[in-house]
A and B are shown apart, each in its own frame.
Chain A
Amino acid sequence: MPATQLSTDFHKTMKLDNVNTSLQEEIKLECGVDIELCMECGKCSGGCSNAHIFDFTPRKVVQLVKIGDEETLLKMDALSTCVSCHLCVDRCPSQIDIPRIIDYLREKAHKQGIEPTRKNVQLFNKLMLDYVQKNGRVAETHLMVRFNFKTGQYFKDAEMGRKMFFKGKLKPFPSKVKRIEQVRLLFRDVPARREG
């Protein structure tokens, strides 16, 4: 797991007097997610698809929001590895939408230009959105090849690609949106359109 630079030193006494609740309020306002409903039971984290590779389990993410440790939240590895499977929210006794919080933090980290712990995840997402912005649609094969080249993994999925080629699963000429200007307009005010 890539190390996360913690802004809070978890080995020292945390001064509750210094905790501010603005992040908690911001998340309530912007995402409609009220973390005061959290009962601290940990059910979110026990069933989380990726908790075993997270630096902070979903319950800890909620707790970090409570103590207002935005810096840790924006840098944590869980932002890269949350798979958005929504197991946590549907099992939560209070239906706290943790994936919505994660997406909100991802967006915020991205806008602030904070480097994600797993650059490949963000690179993949950006390359994908580039395709959408350019063609309106994604050509999976092209995306995969481009991703593997950008990350220097020239032969990563070569064997799989060969098999898929023989199954006729790879399309050399991907389809495109005709009125592409409509799609490009959607990206107008979006920082994500910046080249990865």
Chain B
Amino acid sequence: MSVAYFPGCSLHGMASEYDRSARLVCRHLGIELKEIEDWSCCGATAAHSLDHLLAVSLSARNLAIAEQMNLNQVTAPCAGCYNRLKTASYEIRNSEAIAAEVEKIIGAPAPVYSEVTNMVQLIIENVGIEAVAEKVRKPLSNMKVACYYGCLLTRPAKVTGFDDPEQPESLDRLMQSLGLETVNWSHKAECCGGGFAASETSIVVDLGGQVLEAARQAGAEAVVVACPMCQTNLDTRQEAIEKVRGVKYSLPIIYFTQLLGLAFGYSVSQLGLNKLLTSPLTLLKAKGLI
């Protein structure tokens, strides 16, 4: 099965371990990821904050290329890219006026056929939880994790149509299939501060801190994410958060694909588990997983 793959800027930059582990895991599960040729940035927060049509067009260009490659199913591991691509697809499908404008701007037919899925969804819908469980070689038992979906995987619900916007379950079920215990907690889909990491860092320290605190109180030993922004905010700002809150969290923020890969038998370096700032290695060693 072939799927158009949109890595996005983060996965070519700071989140290369997400890219690497996503590709490994998909190949392992029989999903052939075909990178969208010459893809360009989805526009991220910057574009939709400044120009609606630019935002839709930037994403639409990528979907249009995927359609030219005869690939209608598009996946993006980055929740931010997923959300922008999905929003573009939604706008184009729901407004003929926007579709017409976009067609003019990108100089290609409006990509009305594209089905955009996030990577959690891709694996659950195209492979299935049971099939994933069957591939587990090393069950990740005795470890409690908090699955953190953030804002962009599920919201706005009318656009994503994916899982519950408040208490999503899909990533939890996927992680449970690896043997992990997932905690019930309040901040699965609260915001980490998103794109404010550089421009208003205090917002990230505040909101990210609330997420980490809720995860700690729920008894999580690590946080599982499917978004490079969430990962970066919770990981790189963890020290600042600890300083402000006076609590030592030491919570590794791990990409879900890294844990899938670990359960499938891939190594720490293959999955880039050594690249996370708050190292998960001590925890994984203590649990006998590496």
A residues bordering B, Cβ < 8 Å? 32, 49-50, 53, 80-81, 83-87, 89-91, 95, 97, 99, 103-104, 106-107, 110, 118, 120-126, 128-129, 131-132, 136-141, 143-144, 147-148, 156-157, 160, 163-164, 167-171, 174-175, 177-179, 182-183, 185-192
Contacts and interface: CB of A to CB of B under 8 A. Distances in A.
B70 interface: no
B47 interface: yes
Contact of A125 (B50, B191, B207, B236): B50
B53 A190 contact: yes
B45 interface: yes
Interface string B47-76: 111111110011001000000000000000
Contacts of A167: 274-277
Interface of B: 9-10, 12-14, 16, 38-41, 43-54, 57-58, 61, 95, 105-107, 151, 155-158, 165-166, 190-191, 193-196, 198-201, 203, 207, 236, 274-277
Nearest to B50: A192
29 contacts: A49-B207, A80-B200, A83-B191, A83-B196, A83-B203, A83-B207, A85-B155, A87-B191, A89-B156, A90-B155, A99-B156, A104-B52, A124-B46, A131-B41, A137-B12, A137-B40, A138-B41, A144-B198, A148-B198, A167-B276, A169-B14, A169-B16, A171-B12, A183-B58, A183-B61, A186-B54, A187-B54, A190-B51, A192-B47
Count chain B CB atoms within 10 A of each CB in A95, A107, A168 and give the residue with the most.
A107
A179 to B, nearest CB: 6
Contact of B38 (A84, A90, A177): A177
A137 B198 contact: no
Given A83-B191, A86-B151, A177-B39, A137 B9 contact: yes
A163 B239 CA distance: 12
B200 A103 contact: no
A103 B14 contact: no
A106 B50 contact: yes
B97 to A, nearest CB: 11
A53 B204 CA distance: 13
